[in-house]
């Protein structure tokens, strides 16, 4: 799926949002938005390769590993080396896991059409180059592959620095039409909007 990157890649941009590790994996979040819900929605299956772009501290990793089984692979990408080091401490000993410090908008170390599933969980709302992330998700997904994109919907529940990064319905429509995504489902649970998109079989 991915080779070890050699070139220096862009890391956390000055306007991208840094998240504290403790806010990403704690008892409240596990109760309020369990990782299994995301993994179930993404229908991760045995033997698959999953790219978790903006993986943070690896909140979803256990669920992905359980589902991909012994022959699957999970790639964790995040520009915040501090968060990713937490993920690496937890999962780095597992040969199925690879971690790379990079932006979701530039993952040239992942080959075209090489992954089965992509997660962009609560990430577009933290980064400036949202179109870049959606373009990379499209490029690296195999035809028939799925991407799960989630972001908080309500402006008043987000902090001031995050507001400028908000994914509005209009912006989402603009991101969606950049490629020929098939929309499998879109739902709102609590205040999180989740879109499940498929890359159709018959595309270049």
Ligand X SMILES: C[S@@+](CC[C@H](N)C(=O)[O-])C[C@H]1O[C@@H](n2cnc3c(N)ncnc32)[C@H](O)[C@@H]1O
* Under rule CB under 6 A, residue 79 binds ligand X: yes
> Which of 104, 60, 56 lies closest to 80, judged by CA?
56
Q: Which is nearer to ligand X, 132 or 203 (CB)?
A: 132
Two structure tokens written together for 22: 């403790």
H or E element at residue 74: strand 73-77
DSSP helix/strand/coil, 34? coil
Distance, CA of 102 to CA of 201 (rounded, Å) = 28
- Count residues binding ligand X (CB under 6 A): 25
**Which of 39, 42, 55, 197 touches ligand X (CB under 6 A)?**
55
Least distance in angstroms from the C-beta of 90 to ligand X: 13
Please, what is the Cα angle at 155 between 154 and 156, to 5 degrees?
95
Catalogue the E-assigned strands of 31-170.
49-53, 73-77, 97-100, 115-121, 141-152
Q: State the nearest-atom distance from the C-beta of 194 to ligand X, in Å.
A: 11
Q: Compare residues 136 and 182 and give the one whose CB is closer to ligand X.
A: 136
- Which residues from 81-140 bind ligand X, rule CB under 6 A? 83, 103-105, 121-123, 126-127
What are the residues binding ligand X (CB under 6 A)? Answer: 12-13, 16-19, 24, 53-56, 59-60, 78-80, 83, 103-105, 121-123, 126-127
């Amino acid at each position: 799926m991915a080779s070890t990157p050699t070139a220096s890649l862009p890391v956390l941009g000055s306007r991208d949002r840094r998240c504290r590790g403790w806010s990403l994996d704690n008892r409240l979040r596990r109760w309020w938005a369990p990782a299994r819900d995301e993994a179930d929605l993404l229908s991760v299956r045995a033997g698959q390769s999953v790219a978790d772009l903006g993986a943070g501290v690896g909140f979803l990793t256990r669920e992905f590993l359980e589902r991909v089984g012994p022959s699957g692979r999970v790639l964790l990408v995040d520009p915040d080396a501090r968060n990713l080091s937490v993920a690496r401490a937890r999962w780095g000993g597992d040969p199925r896991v690879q971690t790379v410090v990079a932006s979701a908008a530039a993952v040239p170390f992942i080959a075209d059409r090489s992954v089965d599933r992509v997660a962009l969980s609560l990430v577009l709302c933290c980064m400036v180059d949202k179109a870049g992330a959606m373009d990379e998700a499209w490029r690296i997904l195999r035809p028939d592959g799925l991407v799960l994109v989630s972001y908080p919907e309500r402006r008043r529940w987000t902090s001031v620095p995050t507001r400028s990064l908000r994914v509005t319905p209009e912006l989402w429509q603009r991101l969606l039409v950049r490629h020929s995504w098939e929309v499998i489902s879109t739902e709102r649970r609590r205040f999180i909007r989740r879109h499940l998109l498929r890359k159709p079989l018959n595309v270049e």
